[in-house]
Structure 1
Amino acid sequence: MSDHESPELVDLFTTYTAGPDSIGAHLRACAARARAGDPLLVVTGADMALYPGDGRPTTVLPYRLSNRGFKELAAVSHLGPALSSLAELRLREPDGVWRRDAELLLRQTRRARAANSTDLWRDRIAAASYRGREEAIASMVDYTCAITERYLVRALADPALLNHRTLRETYLDDGHADLPVSFNRVMVATFFLVGLDTSYRLISWLDEQDIDWARAMVVVVGQIGRPTAGVTWRTNSVAGMVLAASRGKLPLSHLYIAPHAAGFATPVDGDLREVNAVEEQLRQLWAGTRATVELGGAMFEGYPAFDPGDDYAGQQPRTVGAHDGVVTEQPAIRSADDWLSLVTRLRVVMEDPRQLLSGAVTDYAAQQLIAHDNNPLAVLIPGLDNEPYPAFGTASAAA
């Protein structure tokens, strides 16, 4: 039997939430008009665009394409995971491709070591943020290639050495007599250098824009990094850079991360037509999200408000008390009649832009199903079961 949808109830659904002429769409547009003069900063995986507002010219910083030395430093930081992957490949498939891959890595490591020099970092890569450290960086790269080459040569001669324990003891960790600097320290250094350069350029550019951070609207759109990364305030490194650049003046509540929203491609030859074409859409995205957040406070005044606090990464749910003024996450639900927690969750999913609006009690429903052998009829449904609803057809509309 095919699924059936009630046209009348679907029409009621779309009246609020779907389509360009819905109540929700009208609220988003109204909220965007109210902030048309506020600065909007949009961050994609490669670029940063500032829309100053009121039709003033857009400015774009292609921060990824201008990142000098990123791939070179990433190549060095990847050596540890590469060796660990080879050890895992050998463990899983001793007669597989690990030897061929190890030989390729050895050749490429030797080529990279031969190409590395102080001149390369100072005169050709020439990152402004690395100025004065070029010789030290070249020495680090040379050393890392040397210890990687040594490990690979030994492992190819004696495959028994290619295992996770030996790798940790002789390459990754501190403490080995023949390892002046462990690779783990190199990895930290390379990550820091990349973050230093990106932060330096972003902060310099943002300082030049003279943004009124108290009024700023900031949205990070699309994928940044691997598909599972950067979807929270704490885990999104670019969001952290923007917050730092504001010197604490940008309210965290003004920064939204929208991994599914479309941004724009990096402008070519200064052509900003695509960038400008999406401004209104992105303003409505930010302003509409903000409007929903504000509805949460208006609808559920008197219940604990959402506050991200200092721990943006989140924490285990805790119970909420009647005297709690704020919560940083959805509170734990103690029972199906724990209405303080249940209604507080309704407020949280509206005020916390990271939340799925329909997810206020989904985790509790799943937990209850597990507790009752996945039998839906055995689960007590808050707000439905044991409530004094009038018999079907006898309810009357309020006068």
Structure 2
Amino acid sequence: MPSHESPELVDLFTTYTAGPGSIGSHLTGTATAHGADDPLIVATGADFALYPGGGRAPMVEGFRLSIRGFKELAAVSHLGPALATLVRLRTGYGDGDWRTQAERLLRQVERSRKANSTELWRDTIAVDAYRGRERAIAGMVDYSCAMTARYLRAALADEDYLTPETLRGDYLDGGGTAELPVPLNRMMIATFFLIGLDTFHRILGWFRTQRIDWDHAMVVVAGQQGRPTGGVTWNTSSVVAMILGASEYRLPLDRLYLAPHAPTFATPLDGDLGEVAALEEPLRRLWSGIRETVELGTVMFDGYPRFLPGEIAHPDVSDHTVTGISEMPVIHGPDDWRAMTTRLRVVLEDPRQLLSGCVTDYAVQQLVAADNDPAGVVVPGLDRVDYPTGL
């Protein structure tokens, strides 16, 4: 133990938390055992796993990279960002390698255009959700490749053409002219929509066959979803949208937790669900531990505004008619005990919050206002308060 620590107070810390034998861990274990028969749904970046409960084997359904048509449509939807990247290389960094990259992209665009056909989409890619639209999809891909190739050739012929203004006006956001009948922004919307249409069509059908008791479902969205900073809140996660839709909006939002640092499983190969099955217990403990922390909010702070997703953002809780909030309330000074006590409840009930972040932002604001002089800050609950001793 470091010399600056008090062994007695450290032991007090570990009695409640920070160890498998702690009181908090005991509560998590009790809650996990109590919910062992409830269905657990876990979403990774590529798959859904359903643990039916009661010791029954898990089931897995993929929804991303291994799916028919995903890479082909994503390839076309990325043409806009690809051209924008070339613009950034040239105009933002003066990187002469933009020309090599443009030539490379042009070759792949021309190659893909030759391979594209109605038959490819209907007979080879063959996505059920696209049935009847194959000719339109092939036409959209052909047009998108043609317009991309034209833009690339113009830029390669005259590099001064490669600017944000021409990208928007002659490719992305123009349109309605003989030169650009349809702006490519519409293609990007269409491709993203088609990917979502197919994905949810399959996932909704899969979930419907499982007959899940959504009122008791335990849901964890685990690990990274797309780019490292994406999909970490309810409103920004397409996976959350799918799960809520699959429940036909019966799943209570407070039973769904996004856990970017939770353990995940790789997409099972050859039907081997060993890794998936091994994660059931730790993921059930994870969900139950979060849930029990949330439940402490009512036990400790009933009567103060509770956390309600999507209710009132950043409210002034000095208005006593406010009973539910979705973000931290504003603090009106070091004696605003209603706001600060409400924050204690919010950090317990809002799974996005760090428990240590209850008044961190307020402390930062006060230090900045005091030019980083701790003596110029009022510490709520300590300064201006006399605690009797020796009781």
Q: TM class, shorter-chain normalised?
A: over 0.9
Shift of 1:310: 6.0
Q: What residue is the counterpart of 2:31 in the other structure?
A: 31
Tell me the distance in 1 between the aligned counterparts of 2:165 and 2:7: 63
Amino acid at match of 2:208: D
Give the percent of matched residue pairs that are identical in Structure 1 and Structure 2: 62
The 5 A counterparts of 1:277-356 are: 277-309=278-310, 315=313, 317-320=314-317, 321-356=319-354
Tell me the distance in 1 between the aligned counterparts of 2:339 and 2:301: 12
* Distance 1:268-1:377 versus aligned 2 partners, 3 A rule: same
C-alpha deviations, 1:84-107, integer Å up to 9, x for none? 111111113435211111111111
Tell me the distance in 2 between the aligned counterparts of 1:223 and 1:331: 29
> Which structure 1 residue ranges, 4+ long, deviate > 4 Å from structure 2?
none
Q: What residue is the counterpart of 2:156 in the other structure?
A: 156
Q: Does 1:53 align with 2:53?
A: yes
Q: What residue is the counterpart of 2:359 in the other structure?
A: 361
TM-score computed with the length of structure 1 as normaliser = 0.94
Aligned residues: 388
Aligned-CA RMSD value: 1.4
Shift of 1:124: 1.0
Shift of 1:269: 1.6
Tell me the distance in 1 between the aligned counterparts of 2:94 and 2:54: 64
Tell me the distance in 1 between the aligned counterparts of 2:3 and 2:262: 30
Tell me the distance in 1 between the aligned counterparts of 2:157 and 2:169: 18
Q: What residue is the counterpart of 1:64 in the other structure?
A: 64
Tell me the distance in 1 between the aligned counterparts of 2:163 and 2:311: 40
Q: What residue is the counterpart of 2:199 in the other structure?
A: 198
Q: What residue is the counterpart of 1:396 in the other structure?
A: 390
The 5 A counterparts of 1:143-222 are: 143-175=143-175, 177=177, 178-222=179-223
With 5-14 and 273-282 compared, the bigger mean Cα shift is at: 5-14
Shift of 1:274: 1.4
Shift of 1:265: 1.6
Amino acid at match of 1:278: L
C-alpha deviations, 1:95-149, integer Å up to 9, x for none? 5211111111111111111111111111111111111111111100000000000
Structure 1 residues without counterparts, runs of 5 or longer: none
Tell me the distance in 1 between the aligned counterparts of 2:362 and 2:258: 26
Contact 2:86–2:102 (CA<8 Å) still a contact in 1?
yes
Q: What residue is the counterpart of 1:385 in the other structure?
A: 383
* Distance 1:82-1:386 versus aligned 2 partners, 3 A rule: same
Tell me the distance in 1 between the aligned counterparts of 2:365 and 2:79: 42
C-alpha deviations, 1:157-182, integer Å up to 9, x for none? 11111000111111110345221110
Tell me the distance in 2 between the aligned counterparts of 1:113 and 1:363: 53
Tell me the distance in 1 between the aligned counterparts of 2:223 and 2:344: 27
Contact 1:170–1:176 (CA<8 Å) still a contact in 2?
no
Tell me the distance in 2 between the aligned counterparts of 1:116 and 1:374: 63
Shift of 1:24: 1.1
Tell me the distance in 2 between the aligned counterparts of 1:335 and 1:158: 61
Contact 2:65–2:71 (CA<8 Å) still a contact in 1?
no
